[in-house]
């Protein structure tokens, strides 16, 4: 996935790809409006001029993506709901959803529980959930990792962790 | 020579070793480490303090490539371009070899940087001063053209990502007018989004989330039998690394740009000039690893050029060095080299030593690092997330930044799933502010007259060279290029 | 007998501990928030003073840089921390103009000055290729060729910007202001000839003047600066400047207003002693900064005056978003 580059012009459209492109177009439009609000069309050297240019490029690029998608589309008219379901299955697998929930929980608990206990729990739970290794080894790894984080960040770099 | 003193030798070595780890851990930056060392070495002799700091600087710039290659999280901004081909190499099981090659090449780049500093510092510094705002604008455009090569499956998606990155880079208070941009009226956003936060989110966390799809898949076996590259392999890459080192020295010497931009431009240069790379760029080409690695280490020598000759920082780290010199009772400025020439030669000697230690420390322990990638994803993914969280927090001691970083990670996951690359985003975040600022300075200098602006681009020799280069690169990337070639061939 | 004495001592100690709970301050490490990034002037001053203050306090001051919004981020961060005296704000002059620029509704009125360590002085320097030999010649030339001369500037709040506004209000000269991120990049552009002149802090240009790489036209001060007496004072040709002077950036340490008085006193004493250390004084001299070492009411008076002069100058230059009148900032 990461660095693989494929210049396939005649591939099939991914599930939900069109929807995502529309979302990005909406997002670009929003950014363009926000950029306009900085200083309008007041001058070529205004703080908002360059952001407006960049936002316009975003809009143009998303339009171009949508056009390209049109060309890729291989007919098969499906309902919006079916498309959503297909997209969810491909992009939002169960493991991703659950894991994101664990991450969000971790985020929210960093402050009340403090960094080390929250991270310890997060490491344990996620290593066991993702079947990385058993309880005992998870315990060991989490301890060693947080120990080194403590030494490097809190001791040497004097970062006051939450 | 003062720098051959055994205690100084030891300090440089310790600094280099520590620097490699500081560089490798995302969120811990060399700037931060050197700042802390100022307090730590407050009562020391200035030579001792500098020896330690120089080591940390060299080690830190090099260390960033470690995590870039192994985990796709550049440990330092200068290693962003390293991830483009370094990470695919690790995924092919060649992490050990990639680190080996990058170490040797980094040290070579480092030596070229020191040589430039020792032999031509005053000339390079005078040349760097000649860069007007419009020239910085042209350099930034040149860098941004790299979007074309990082776009992946679709140019339009790459351009979208690049422009989004530019916008992200502009969030916060505009430094030229104190106007808030995309801040929605909050003070929290006035400071903008630190680009390292975007880097950790879009590279590290989004990659970790994508890997959730292959949770049960057995990790690729790393080949650790050939870590030390043979001389013939190195020799093959020497011409490229010399060219990219020279780019590194000059970009490093420019007061407005540092190792990150140097590495990006070097990657771009490699991509344009190497006709038959070992593999296509972006899929694990050694050329794509060598170019940024030699450039970012050469940029260290470059950054010292304006600092030691003029007292002007070449990058963020040398700015802290200048502060350290003040605190130790020296007067950084044009007179430094005249009044205390030993300091100049001391630094040169120190940089040489640090590079030698880099070679030693860099080549040991690679096996263990490479084996890290063989850990099951179920261990690696949570570890990456915790490291990203603590690294992000450390930059500004802000939990808000951590939320941003995770948001970027999740957004980056969706982008990746739909074939958008994250490389252009980071490119935009780094180059956007430089472009915005230099564009406005250039146009204000011409009193908002585009005619004069265009005229300046072609009448000033330096700007003319850069303008021609930009036009050439633009044509080269579009469909017009084959057309030009055909006309040219017909004529001859 | 001996035992009785011991008991008495222990009892006294216990009493002392109970009564002097607040006097225990500081009983843990402090946090120091620097409002500018690593390598900046505020950062340099902070990192020069803290190692001298730490042994006096007997605790460490853990420094972090929290740049952004010319200090608005740090100011708000320190304000949101508890008022226990364990969070220090290391800052510069910038918050004093935040309200008129609508960057933040907080400034040093919300903080107690532990120590204002020193202040910088501005100097107007020109590129060596320019024809002028004095500030007067520059002003005359600018009146002959409106808009053609380029001045290096910064965003509002920076020294070049403020001195630019000052000169504009007095000489009414019309030059093109090219803004840079800070005076450092501006001076670099001056050296390369991309701007013609720049008002900058002595720190940024002193060595360049000494090396003859730039020429100093005028010192933005009413009285000579030790070590740089041969630079003409701006008030020699333009006495109108006197009403704005002394003006310059300053660096100091603040805590929230409602920190307990005992803690404030401990900090004031420690910083007073630390700032008087010859090592720090030497640093300030090399750094081109005038030592101040003032605190409390004296510092508050200085801050008020600085704010009123600067804000009203911005108002005359048309650079404010909210009038200082409306914010209750008195006219100088």
Q: Which of B186-200, C1-15, C185-199, C202-216 has the lowest mean pLDDT?
A: C1-15
Higher per-residue confidence, A80 vs B306: B306
Give me the domain span that covers residue A22.
17-91
Residues on chain A touching C31 (C-beta within 8 angstroms): 160
| Alpha-carbon torsion angle C6, C9, C11, C17, nearest 10 | -140
Q: Are B456 and B421 members of one domain?
A: no
The per-residue pLDDT for A74 is: 55
pLDDT at C137 over 90: yes
pLDDT at A17 over 90: no
- The reply to whether A8 falls in a domain is no
Subunit partners of chain B (3 or more CB pairs within 8 A): A, C
Mean pLDDT of C259-282: 93
Chain B, 229 to 258: residues with Cβ < 8 Å from chain C are: 255-256
Mean pLDDT of A57-68: 93
Instruction: Judge: C51–B42 Cβ closer than 8 Å, yes or no.
Output: yes
Subunit partners of chain C (3 or more CB pairs within 8 A): A, B
pLDDT at C22 over 60: no
Q: Are A46 and A64 members of one domain?
A: yes
DSSP at C129: T
Q: What percent of chain B has pLDDT over 70?
A: 96
Instruction: Judge: C39–B187 Cβ closer than 8 Å, yes or no.
Output: no
Q: Are A49 and A102 members of one domain?
A: no
Q: Are A28 and A67 members of one domain?
A: yes
Q: Are B230 and B364 members of one domain?
A: yes
Residues on chain C touching A158 (C-beta within 8 angstroms): 60, 62
Tokens encoding C42: 């505020």
Instruction: Judge: B87–A3 Cβ closer than 8 Å, yes or no.
Output: yes
Tokens encoding C326: 């409306």
What value does the mean pLDDT of chain A take? 84
Q: Are A53 and A82 members of one domain?
A: yes
Residue of A54, A62, A86, A155 to mutate, interface with B, max B Cβ within 10 Å: A54
- The reply to whether A110 falls in a domain is yes
pLDDT tens for each residue of C170-218: 888 889 999 998 888 999 999 999 999 999 988 889 889 989 999 999 9
Q: Are B249 and B313 members of one domain?
A: yes
Residues on chain C touching A159 (C-beta within 8 angstroms): 64
Distance from CA of C62 to the nearest CA of A (A): 7
pLDDT at C16 over 50: no
Q: Are B356 and B482 members of one domain?
A: no
Q: Are B425 and B471 members of one domain?
A: no
The per-residue pLDDT for A7 is: 44
Instruction: Judge: C69–B190 Cβ closer than 8 Å, yes or no.
Output: yes
Q: Between B160, B162, B435, which is nearest A62 by CB? A: B160
Last residue of a domain, one of A50, A70, A91: A91
Residue of A46, A158, A161 to mutate, interface with C, max C Cβ within 10 Å: A158
pLDDT tens for each residue of C199-212: 998 888 988 998 99
The per-residue pLDDT for C20 is: 43
pLDDT tens for each residue of C50-76: 999 999 999 899 998 888 888 888 999
SS3 assignment, position C127: strand
pLDDT tens for each residue of B327-375: 888 888 898 888 888 899 999 999 999 999 999 999 988 888 888 888 8
Last residue of a domain, one of A41, A56, A91: A91
Instruction: Judge: B21–A28 Cβ closer than 8 Å, yes or no.
Output: no
Q: Are B427 and B471 members of one domain?
A: no
Write the CA distances from C307 to B7, B304, C96, C200, C303, integer angstroms.
Answer: 51, 39, 6, 19, 6
Q: What's the CA gap between A146 and B383, in Å, rounded?
A: 10
The per-residue pLDDT for B148 is: 82
Q: Are B470 and B433 members of one domain?
A: no
Instruction: Judge: A145–B154 Cβ closer than 8 Å, yes or no.
Output: no
- The reply to whether A69 falls in a domain is yes
Q: What is the ipTM of this complex?
A: 0.90
Q: Are A101 and A64 members of one domain?
A: no
Q: Between B191, B318, B331, which is nearest C67 by CB? A: B191
CATH for the stretch C122-244: 3.40.190.10
Chain A, 31 to 70: residues with Cβ < 8 Å from chain B are: 31, 34-35, 38-39, 43-45, 47-51, 54-55, 57-58, 60-62, 64-65, 68
The per-residue pLDDT for B409 is: 95
Q: Where does the pLDDT of residue A6 fall: very low under 50, low under 70, confident under 90, or very high at 90 and above?
A: very low
Query: Could you tell me how many CB contacts below 8 A there are between chain A and chain B?
Result: 210
Domain limits, CATH 3.40.190.150, in chain C:
24-119+248-316
- The reply to whether A100 falls in a domain is yes
Q: What's the CA gap between B51 and B257, in Å, rounded?
A: 24
Mean pLDDT of B264-268: 94
The per-residue pLDDT for B265 is: 94
The per-residue pLDDT for A73 is: 65
Chain B, 340 to 369: residues with Cβ < 8 Å from chain C are: none
Residues on chain A touching B182 (C-beta within 8 angstroms): 31, 34-35, 38, 51
* Nearest residue in chain A measured CA to CA from B181: A38
Instruction: Judge: B181–A122 Cβ closer than 8 Å, yes or no.
Output: no
Q: Where does the pLDDT of residue C244 fall: very low under 50, low under 70, confident under 90, or very high at 90 and above?
A: confident
- The reply to whether A12 falls in a domain is no
Q: What percent of chain A has pLDDT over 70?
A: 89
Residues on chain C touching A160 (C-beta within 8 angstroms): 31, 62, 64
Mean pLDDT of A148-158: 87
Q: What is the largest CA-CA distance in chain B?
A: 72
Mean pLDDT of B124-133: 92
Tell me, yes or no, if A1 comes closer than 8 A to chain B by beta carbon: yes
Higher per-residue confidence, A132 vs B49: B49
The per-residue pLDDT for B480 is: 64
Q: Which of B24-33, C15-24, C166-175 has the lowest mean pLDDT?
A: C15-24
Mean pLDDT of B182-209: 88
Residues on chain B touching A60 (C-beta within 8 angstroms): 159
Give which of B165, B135, B167 is closest to B150, Cα–Cα.
B165
Q: Which of A70-74, B311-315, C298-302 has the lowest mean pLDDT?
A: A70-74
Cα angle A11-A14-A19, degrees, rounded to a multiple of 5: 130
Q: Are B230 and B301 members of one domain?
A: yes
The per-residue pLDDT for A5 is: 39
pLDDT at C3 over 80: no
pLDDT tens for each residue of A120-148: 999 999 988 887 777 888 899 999 999 99
Instruction: Judge: B35–C47 Cβ closer than 8 Å, yes or no.
Output: yes
Number of H helices, E strands in chain B: 23, 2
Q: Are B165 and B281 members of one domain?
A: yes
Residues on chain B touching C286 (C-beta within 8 angstroms): 326, 329-331
The per-residue pLDDT for B215 is: 77
Task: Please give the backbone phi and psi of residue C29, each rounded to the nearest 5 degrees, phi first.
Answer: -65, 150
Count of structural domains, chain B: 2
Mean pLDDT of B117-125: 93
CA of residue C221 relative to chain centroid, distance? 16
Instruction: Judge: B333–C210 Cβ closer than 8 Å, yes or no.
Output: yes
Q: 3-state SS of chain B?
A: CHHHCHHHHHHHHHHHHHHHHHHHCCCCCHHHHHHHHHHHCCCCCHHHHHHHHHHHHHHHHHHHHHHHHHHCCCCCHHHHHHHHHHHHHHHCCCHHHHHHHHHHHHHHHHHHHHHHHHHHHHHHHHHHHCCCHHHHHHHHHHHHCCHHHHCCCCHHHHHHHHHHHHHHHHCEECCCCCCEECCCCCCCCCCCCCHHHHHHHHHHHHHHHHHHHHCCCCCCCCCCCCCCCCHHHHHHHHHHHHHHHHHHHHHHHCCCCCHHHHHHHHHHHHHHHCCCCCCCCCCCCHHHHHHHHHHHHHHHHHHHHHHHHHCCCCCHHHHHHHHHHHHCCCCCCCCHHHHCHHHHHHHHHHHHHHHHHHHHHHHCCHHHHHHHCCCCHHHHHHHHHHHHHHHHHHHHCCHHHHHHHHHHHHHHHHHHHCCCCCHHHHHHHHHHHHHHHHHHHHHHHCCCCHHHHHHHHHHCHHHHHHHHHHHHHHHHHCCHHHHHHHHHHHHC
Give which of B182, B178, A35, B181 is closest to C99, Cα–Cα.
B178
Mean pLDDT of B167-182: 89
CA of residue B101 relative to chain centroid, distance? 18
Q: Are B362 and B461 members of one domain?
A: no
> Which residue shows structure tokens 């431009």?
B265
Count of structural domains, chain A: 2
Instruction: Judge: B190–C185 Cβ closer than 8 Å, yes or no.
Output: no
Task: Please give the backbone phi and psi of residue C182, each rounded to the nearest 5 degrees, phi first.
Answer: -165, 180
Q: Residues A29, B114: contact at Cβ < 8 Å?
A: no
Residue of B29, B379, B439 to mutate, interface with A, max A Cβ within 10 Å: B379
Give me the domain span that covers residue B95.
2-445
SS3 assignment, position C10: helix
pLDDT at C7 over 70: no
Q: Between C38, C47, C73, which is nearest B319 by CB? A: C38
- The reply to whether A9 falls in a domain is no
Q: Which of B198-202, B291-295, C5-9, C145-149 has the lowest mean pLDDT?
A: C5-9
Distance from CA of A42 to the nearest CA of C (A): 16
SS3 assignment, position A148: helix
CATH for the stretch C24-119+248-316: 3.40.190.150
Q: Between B72, B162, B212, which is nearest A2 by CB? A: B72
Last residue of a domain, one of A91, A117, A147: A91
Q: Are A100 and A84 members of one domain?
A: no
Distance from CA of C178 to the nearest CA of A (A): 11
The per-residue pLDDT for B482 is: 67
Give which of C47, C58, C88, C277 is closest to B40, Cα–Cα.
C47
Residue of B30, B46, B187, B337 to mutate, interface with C, max C Cβ within 10 Å: B187
Q: Which alpha helices (DSSP H) does B219-340 contain, by range?
A: 231-253, 259-273, 286-310, 316-327, 336-339
* Nearest residue in chain A measured CA to CA from C178: A45
Q: Are A105 and A39 members of one domain?
A: no
Mean pLDDT of C125-130: 94
Q: Are A67 and A99 members of one domain?
A: no
| Alpha-carbon torsion angle C57, C62, C65, C71, nearest 10 | -40
Q: What's the CA gap between B459 and B467, in Å, rounded?
A: 11
Q: What's the CA gap between C56 and B367, in Å, rounded?
A: 48
Q: Between B42, B256, B310, which is nearest C185 by CB? A: B256
Q: Between A54, A153, A158, which is nearest B390 by CB? A: A153
């Amino acid at each position: 996935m990461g660095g693989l580059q494929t210049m396939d012009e005649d591939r099939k459209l991914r599930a939900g790809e069109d929807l995502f492109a529309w979302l990005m177009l909406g997002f670009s439009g929003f950014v363009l409006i926000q950029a306009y609000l900085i200083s309008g069309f007041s001058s070529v050297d205004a703080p908002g001029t360059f952001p407006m240019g960049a936002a316009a490029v975003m809009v143009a690029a998303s339009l171009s993506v949508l056009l390209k998608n049109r060309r890729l589309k291989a007919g098969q008219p499906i309902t919006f709901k079916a498309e959503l379901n297909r997209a969810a299955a491909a992009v939002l697998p169960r493991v991703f959803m659950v894991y994101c929930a664990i991450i969000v929980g971790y985020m929210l608990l960093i402050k009340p529980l403090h960094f080390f206990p929250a991270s310890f729990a997060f490491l344990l739970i996620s290593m066991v959930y993702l079947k990385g290794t058993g309880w005992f080894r998870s315990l060991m790894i989490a301890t060693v990792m947080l120990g080194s984080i403590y030494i490097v960040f809190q001791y040497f770099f004097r970062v006051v962790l939450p | 020579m003062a720098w051959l003193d055994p205690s100084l030798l030891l300090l440089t070595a310790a600094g280099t070793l520590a620097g490699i780890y500081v560089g490798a851990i995302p969120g811990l930056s060399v700037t931060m480490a050197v700042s802390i060392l100022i307090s730590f070495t407050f009562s020391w002799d200035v030579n001792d303090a500098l020896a330690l700091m120089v080591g940390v600087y060299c080690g830190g710039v090099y260390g960033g490539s470690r995590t870039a290659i192994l985990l796709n999280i550049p440990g330092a901004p200068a290693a962003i371009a390293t991830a483009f081909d370094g990470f695919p190499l690790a995924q092919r099981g060649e992490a050990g070899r990639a680190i080996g090659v990058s170490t040797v090449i980094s040290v070579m780049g480092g030596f070229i940087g020191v040589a430039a500093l020792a032999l031509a510092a005053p000339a390079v510094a005078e040349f760097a001063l000649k860069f007007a705002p419009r020239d910085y604008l042209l350099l930034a455009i040149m860098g941004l053209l790299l979007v074309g090569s990082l776009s992946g499956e679709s140019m339009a998606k790459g351009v979208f990502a690049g422009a989004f990155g530019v916008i992200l880079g502009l969030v916060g208070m505009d430094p030229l007018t104190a106007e808030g941009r995309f801040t929605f009226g909050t003070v929290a956003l006035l400071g903008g989004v630190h680009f390292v936060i975007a880097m950790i989110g879009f590279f590290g966390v989004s990659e970790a989330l994508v890997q959730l799809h292959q949770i049960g898949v057995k990790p690729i076996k790393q080949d650790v039998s050939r870590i030390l590259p043979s001389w013939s392999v190195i020799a093959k890459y020497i011409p490229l690394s010399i060219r990219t080192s020279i780019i590194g020295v000059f970009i490093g010497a420019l007061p407005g740009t540092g190792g990150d931009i140097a590495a990006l431009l070097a990657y771009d240069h490699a991509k344009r000039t190497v006709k038959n790379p070992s593999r296509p760029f972006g899929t694990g080409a050694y050329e794509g690893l060598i170019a940024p690695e030699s450039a970012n280490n050469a940029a260290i020598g470059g950054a010292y050029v304006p600092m030691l000759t003029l007292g002007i920082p070449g990058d963020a780290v040398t700015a802290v060095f200048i502060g350290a010199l003040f605190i130790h009772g020296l007067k950084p400025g044009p007179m430094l080299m005249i009044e205390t020439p030993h300091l100049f030669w001391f630094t040169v000697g120190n940089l040489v030593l640090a590079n030698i230690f880099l070679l030693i420390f860099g080549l040991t322990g690679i096996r263990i690092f490479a084996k890290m990638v063989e850990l099951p994803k179920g261990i690696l993914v949570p570890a990456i997330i915790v490291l990203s969280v603590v690294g992000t927090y450390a930059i500004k001691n802000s939990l808000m930044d951590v939320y941003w970083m995770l948001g970027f990670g999740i957004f980056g996951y969706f982008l990746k799933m739909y074939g958008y690359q994250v490389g252009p985003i980071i490119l935009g975040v780094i180059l956007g502010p430089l472009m915005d600022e230099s564009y406005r300075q250039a146009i204000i200098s011409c009193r908002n007259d585009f005619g004069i602006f265009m005229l300046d681009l072609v009448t000033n020799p330096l700007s003319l060279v850069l303008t021609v280069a930009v036009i050439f690169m633009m044509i080269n990337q579009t469909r017009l290029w084959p057309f030009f070639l055909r006309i040219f061939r017909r004529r001859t | 007998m001996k035992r009785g004495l011991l008991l008495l001592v222990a009892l006294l100690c216990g009493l002392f501990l109970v009564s002097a709970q607040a006097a225990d301050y500081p009983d843990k490490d402090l946090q120091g928030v620097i409002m500018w990034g690593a390598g900046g002037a505020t950062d340099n001053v902070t990192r020069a003073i803290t190692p001298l203050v730490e042994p006096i306090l007997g605790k460490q001051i853990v420094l972090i840089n929290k740049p952004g919004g010319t200090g608005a981020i740090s100011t708000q961060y320190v304000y949101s921390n508890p008022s226990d005296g364990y969070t220090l704000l290391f800052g510069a002059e910038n918050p004093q103009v935040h309200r008129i620029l609508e960057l933040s509704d907080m400034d040093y009125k919300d903080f107690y000055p532990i120590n204002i360590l020193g202040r910088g002085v501005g100097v107007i320097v020109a590129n060596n290729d320019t024809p002028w030999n004095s500030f007067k010649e520059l002003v005359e030339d600018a009146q002959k060729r409106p808009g053609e001369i380029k001045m290096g500037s910064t965003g509002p709040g920076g020294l070049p910007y403020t001195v630019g506004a000052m000169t504009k209000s007095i000489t009414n000269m019309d030059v093109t202001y090219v803004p840079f991120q800070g005076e450092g990049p501006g001076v670099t552009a001056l050296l390369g000839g991309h701007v013609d002149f720049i008002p900058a802090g002595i720190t940024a240009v002193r060595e360049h003047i000494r090396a003859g790489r730039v020429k100093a036209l005028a010192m933005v001060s009413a009285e000579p600066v030790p070590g740089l007496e041969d630079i003409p004072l701006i008030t020699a040709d333009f006495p109108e400047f006197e009403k704005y002077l002394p003006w310059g950036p300053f660096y100091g340490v603040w805590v929230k207003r409602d920190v307990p008085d005992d803690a404030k006193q401990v900090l004031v004493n420690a910083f007073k002693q630390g700032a008087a250390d010859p090592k720090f004084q030497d640093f300030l001299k090399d750094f081109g900064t005038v030592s101040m070492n003032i605190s409390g009411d004296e510092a508050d008076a200085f801050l008020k005056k600085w704010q009123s002069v600067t804000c009203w100058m911005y108002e005359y230059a048309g650079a404010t978003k909210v009038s200082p009148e409306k914010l209750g900032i008195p006219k100088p």
